[in-house]
Chains A and B, each alone.
Chain A
Amino acid sequence: MARWITRFFDLRGGEARPVIQSFLVLFLLIGAHTTLETARDALFLTKLAPKELNLVYIALAGLSFVAAALSTRLALRFGRRNALIGTLGIAAVATALLYGMTPTPRVVMTLYVFSGLVGAVLSPQFWLLAAQMFTSSQGRRLFGPIASGGVAGGVAGATTAAVLVAHHPVTSLLLVAAFAFIATALLLTTLALPVDDDDLSTRFDLDDKAPAQAPSLALSQQPFVWRVALLVALSTAAVLTVDYLFKSTAALKIPPAQLGEFFARYYAVMNGVSLVVQLLVAGRVVRRLGVAGATGVMPTLLLVGGAASFVTGGALLPVLGMRLVDGGLRHSLNRVATELLYLPMPTKVRERAKGLIDTVLSRSVQAVTAAVLFGLGTMGVLSPRMLAGIVLVLCVSWTAVAAGLRRPYLDLFRRALSGGTLQLGAENTEIDVNAAEALVEAMANPEPTVVIAALDVLEQRDREKLIPALILYHDAEPVLFRALEIFGASPRQDWIPLGERLLSHESEGMRIAAVRALAKHGVALALARATKDASTTVQAYAAFHLALRSEDQELSEHPSLAPMLEERGESGEAKRRVLLTAIADAADPRATSLVLAIARGKGFARSEQNITLLARAMKALHDPRYIPFCVELLATRPAREAIRQALVAMGDAALDALEAATIAPDTERRVRTHIPRTIADFRTQRACDFLMARLDGETDGLVRYKVLRGLGHIVAAADVKVDRKKVEKEARRNLVEHLRVTALRVAMEAGSTANAGSEPALPTEHLLLGLLADKQAQSLERAFRLLKIANRREDIHRVHTAARSNDRRARSNAGEFLDTLLAGAGRRELRELFRLVVDDLDPAARVRRAAPHLGPVPHDRKGALAALMEDRDPGLAKLSRPGLDAPMEVVTS
């Protein structure tokens, strides 16, 4: 039986006890309050006139503000569980005191207000405690069964009251209620709270610790709280109007003598429906539609009923249907969905918001709605059609608010997952007066690196004109180099006289930098001085510019340049470097073969510096003859980024070559692995489409991973369109792979020597288990990367991090975010797979639940090993087969 219940309610390890305890607490709490209410109503109607209720409602509305504030303070001071225990204690003592008093009208009035306040405070306090105990993911599964405790408690409380008053005075109910409150408090002391949730005050401190990072905790700045408040207000007004319509229609259509029996039967049916929905339907609907979707079910159904009722002028059937929806869903599905909306809120926000919404707002809305209906009734305009019309308007608004919840609900998880920061849309990083002051201060800093950093920041923001030309008087050479580089590339002229000073600088490098910057601006003096410079390297720079003025069509054969190609030693290499720099600065097609000659020259060392200069020259000339050379150079790490930029500059011809090299079987693997990222740098739709095609066309796992990374880069950097269905299909494939590997690992570990606690006897097996763990992490990472490609604006990386976190709330937030993000019929399988891999489950349970997606999987070590030997993953297959200990080749020196 216990096993059946566990399975039916999807209870997982360690959940049964807190769920049963929560169920019993709610059962007792609602039972006690129902008993108290029965006594209250009976005493009130015997001692006071119904018109006195107005006074009670006003007093209740005012005092509920105070009660809500006190409740929050109590929780802040003593923790949520202790606050509830304290409130129950106060309720028990006060109820017992009222029992001991003579029920005068004043005492009865006090009892009415007191019981109203107890009802207004206890239920929100319980749900806030539940929110603290359970994560969003648990709430989805468990709030339904827990809430059924409230329904059962209501029935039990009413039944107990009915039995008792038949034999005892009505005031005896107060004593029973007081004992029930005490029993609830005692039960609460045994409630198992997760360790991290026991002390609410600590959690508040944590929330407040980093104000720069933490979300704003002011309710006025919480758009989601506003929406929930609106949702609750509209639902409260709508159900009150439905109830009014139901009662007035029943009074009209059913003979007075049959009214009692009618209500009794109808309420019994409603309670039954409510219980069934609570136990069987609520959880499934929430899982299927998501939390935001589930909040729209009740208003949509009421909307249909309201419309039918309006059209028929208040016919009995649609009105009965609406009331059935109200009675059946309000305390079950709608309650669960609304409670779940509070879970992702920051703790402090939730504490304040729930108190105000559930206690103050709902009571106030009830009072206003009742007053409006009363006013309309007094004016004689409250026909059934009019009532149905009001219901219709309220339900349209309610449905609209529910439909608009998905986006802010997602935002809430985005915020939770990003630790409070929410980066959406483009950032404004313009330079204002304060920022300019900071920059000026940085440029005056004695530390050269700070000055260069300030120059870089200005250049990045296209504000080179803010750099004073006087910076060329700076003492530090690195600052001068950077400033000349920036000035040379800018259209500014005011720095030129100061730049000319540097032509006679003692450093050879500085003179070259000055010549370069000035030559870019066509300053003839610079080249003239360079030709006469003491350094042959400086002369080399000028020589190239002079060669450009010649009629020669092929500069590699120019008499002043050709010798530099042959010159040996460090001097020759320095000249060739300067030549490449000069070519990059003043690109001329006649220098194309000069670059090739340098690249193919025997004296050209493939160092990072040399290849970078070569790539820059090739980029400037972007001749297609360079393409094979550049593609080949992708295999070497130094200056790979510069080579990529050169290839991008060569345009479609380079893209053609890269695409061909990807597919060609004879392309070196080291080259192939770096092609996808290079293709991504083209940032065009064509590049994106090619990578998309390789996603399922590539057979080499590493290259496919690089394709995936490349797609990630291109999607992040360019406005390209991706085939979302294809990407999601690939994500599904990776998730299934993750689960498949999990199944193999579970089966392997079941009989592994690694589980014995000691050093495993078989190193191969130890490695195999490690490799399986790697593959698990790898396939999951790929699935998340694909999700990012399909949802480029979302910070999926953080979701992935949260999903792997040790913090159960972070994991739950990740699951809930994915569930909401992937809402929609077409993504159901993907949503289910993500839920499976993110949910808190032990590996064996995860594999069991994944069975529909996996097909047959091995259940023991022997079966797993057999499957692994034939695995499509070559690494796993290799490690599973015997013979890996065979000696490998040895080189003797």
Chain B
Amino acid sequence: MTEGERSARLVREIFLAGFMSGLPAENVLWATHRLGRNMADVHLRAGDVLYRQSDPTAAHYFVVYGEMKLTAEGVPPWTLGERSLIGTIDLTLERARSRTATATRATHLLEMPAGDWLDMLEDNFELMLRGVEGIAAGVHELRKGLGRTTSAESPGARPFERRLPDGPLGLVDRVMLLRGVPLFSGGEVQALLDLAAHAVEIEVDAGGVITPRGEPNDAMFVTISGTVTASTSTTVPAETVGPGRMVFGSCAATSKEIGCEAHATTRSRLLRLVREDYFDAMEEHFGLARSSMKALAAEREILANEVARRAGPTGS
């Protein structure tokens, strides 16, 4: 390693350690060392294009300084500055570039190859978990800002069409129900079987509280029948969740207390999953973790577009 490479690597590690501040120290140490080794510096001038729409997604980028504008026809532009990640949604959703990324001024980025990023997440579950929880909390904040409780347009949130028995569900029905939930839809069958086996089916009378506001939030609920009224904040209108839907949507992935409240609007049946079981299943099955990341990334993209649309033509 030459002197120049050593200092460049050190600068990368400092940037990454700062970027990951808030994570446990031992994870930051491990991740910065690993990421710093495989990253490459990219310097752009104003007007330079980093990648174009429909290019294959081989990497994502950390913005060290400068500003990037991400544009595509029919959607509002995103303007991202220092300490942002560029291209991560495409990478997470395993698709070609959905926008063209152009530097609006002199910009320094760190390029992280897609494979290395996914390898790192697979190798360090704590980091993966913090990532899932962090994005879920971020989505929750975006929703609050937009005055929403759940995101009906999430691409994974297909309408639930399967006919479920009127009586208690069997294991297969439980798994099929879970497969319709965006957070779980791409998970391994084994992971869903584990989750379904550990889940408990509950019946709640109309008006019965499912998640009291301000109390520890240690479970996730999927509606089997009936309707549930969910609200994520006292300032946001409550929404009604029907069969096949996760109460609070993908935000239910976070264990952080986010001030949610849910109660049955009509007599309802729900599948209750202990969040620790979900985390355990993710630890054992990377596919489930990837599925959760995808669901959250998809929703984040929708919300970010809405935020940008509301911010007007200058972007956010």
Contacts and interface: CB of A to CB of B under 8 A. Distances in A.
Interface of A: 210, 212-213, 419, 421, 423, 427-435, 437-439, 442, 447, 449-450, 452-454, 456-457, 460, 637, 641, 670, 702, 705, 763-764, 767, 770-771, 773-775, 777-778, 797-798, 801, 875, 879, 884-893
B106 interface: no
B168 A429 contact: no
A774 B11 contact: no
Contacts of A777: 188
Contacts of B7: 432, 434-435, 437-438
A797 B17 contact: no
A457 B204 contact: no
A889 B174 CA distance: 12
Contacts of A892: 202-203
B311 interface: no
Contacts of A213: 40, 113
Given A434-B3, A449-B18, A887-B169, A210 B40 contact: yes
A885 B168 CA distance: 10
Interface stretch (B24-32, B67-75, B134-142): B24-32
B190 interface: yes
Given A460-B29, A801-B119, A891-B203, A450 B6 contact: no
Given A637-B276, A767-B175, A430 B202 contact: no
B167 A449 contact: no
Contact of A887 (B33, B168, B272): B168
A437 B11 CA distance: 10
A771 B172 contact: no
A666 to B, nearest CB: 20
Contacts of A770: 188-189
Interface string B193-219: 100000011111100100000000000
A767 B115 contact: no
A771 B203 CA distance: 30
Given A434-B7, A641-B24, A801-B115, A875 B170 contact: no
A439 B123 CA distance: 29
Nearest to B129: A637
B48 interface: no
Given A212-B41, A875-B190, A887 B18 contact: no
Which of A771, A797, A890 has the most chain B CB atoms inside 10 A of its CB? A890
A20 B257 CA distance: 67
B312 interface: no
Contacts of B14: 438-439, 442, 450, 453-454, 457
A893 B18 contact: no
Given A429-B6, A460-B29, A797-B119, A419 B1 contact: no
Given A435-B6, A893-B202, A887 B165 contact: yes
B37 interface: yes
19 contacts: A212-B40, A435-B7, A439-B10, A447-B18, A453-B15, A453-B18, A454-B14, A456-B25, A456-B29, A763-B176, A771-B190, A774-B189, A801-B115, A885-B172, A888-B201, A890-B203, A892-B202, A893-B202, A893-B208
A779 to B, nearest CB: 12
A757 to B, nearest CB: 18
B172 A764 contact: yes
A889 B1 contact: no
Contact of B21 (A453, A705, A887): A453
Contacts of B113: 213, 419
Contacts of B208: 893
B282 to A, nearest CB: 11
A452 B40 contact: no
Contacts of A798: 115
B239 interface: no
Nearest to A873: B190
Given A427-B1, A888-B201, 18 more contacts: A212-B40, A421-B38, A429-B9, A432-B7, A434-B3, A449-B19, A450-B14, A450-B18, A452-B18, A637-B279, A705-B284, A773-B189, A774-B188, A801-B119, A887-B165, A890-B168, A890-B269, A891-B201
B173 interface: yes
B203 A763 contact: no
Nearest to B25: A456
B127 to A, nearest CB: 12
Interface in B225-278: 269, 272, 276
B301 interface: no
A342 B115 CA distance: 26
A763 B115 CA distance: 34
B246 to A, nearest CB: 19
A888 B170 contact: yes
B4 interface: yes
B171 interface: yes
A798 B190 CA distance: 25
A162 to B, nearest CB: 56
B243 to A, nearest CB: 16
Contacts of B24: 641
B153 interface: no
A433 B3 contact: yes
Contact of A438 (B10, B32, B204): B10
Contacts of B21: 449, 452-453
A434 B6 contact: yes
Contacts of B205: 893
B285 to A, nearest CB: 8
A456 B14 CA distance: 8
B90 interface: no
A771 B170 CA distance: 17
Contacts of A432: 3, 6-7
A888 B285 CA distance: 24
B280 to A, nearest CB: 8
Contacts of B200: 889, 891
B170 A884 contact: yes
Contacts of A890: 168, 201-203, 269
A430 B171 CA distance: 57
B202 A891 contact: yes
B192 to A, nearest CB: 8
Contacts of B115: 419, 798, 801
Contact of A885 (B4, B32, B170): B170
B172 A767 contact: yes
Nearest to A428: B1
